[in-house]
């Protein structure tokens, strides 16, 4: 896998994390309980960024071995 494909995959992961805000948070807004949607959104984005960083680290680590 070359660098361009990896960048595309990481960008897709980040966009997926952003879209999960609208898939997960908005339906929760209609439920009976109130949630802190800003904190939940930030958690989603941070998890995706961390997963992308771990994936990139695994890729670079396997490339140098």
Residue 58 pLDDT level (bands cut at 50, 70, 90): confident
- In tens, the pLDDT along 23-49 reads 665 555 566 666 777 777 787 788 888
Residue 30 CB burial class (10 angstroms; 0-12, 13-18, ≥19): exposed
Question: Taking the domains of the chain in order of start, what are their residue ranges?
Answer: 36-65
CA-wise closest residue to 21 among 50, 42, 1, 4: 42
- In tens, the pLDDT along 1-31 reads 677 787 778 778 777 777 776 666 555 556 6
Count of C-beta atoms within a 10 Å radius of residue 3? 9
Position 23 scores a pLDDT of 64
Position 31 scores a pLDDT of 61
């Amino acid at each position: 896998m070359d660098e361009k494909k990896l960048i595309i995959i990481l960008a897709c992961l980040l966009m997926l994390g952003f879209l999960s805000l609208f898939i997960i948070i908005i339906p929760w807004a209609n439920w009976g309980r109130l949630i802190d949607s800003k904190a939940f959104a930030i958690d989603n984005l941070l998890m995706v960024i961390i997963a992308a960083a771990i994936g990139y680290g695994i890729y670079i680590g396997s490339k140098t071995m």
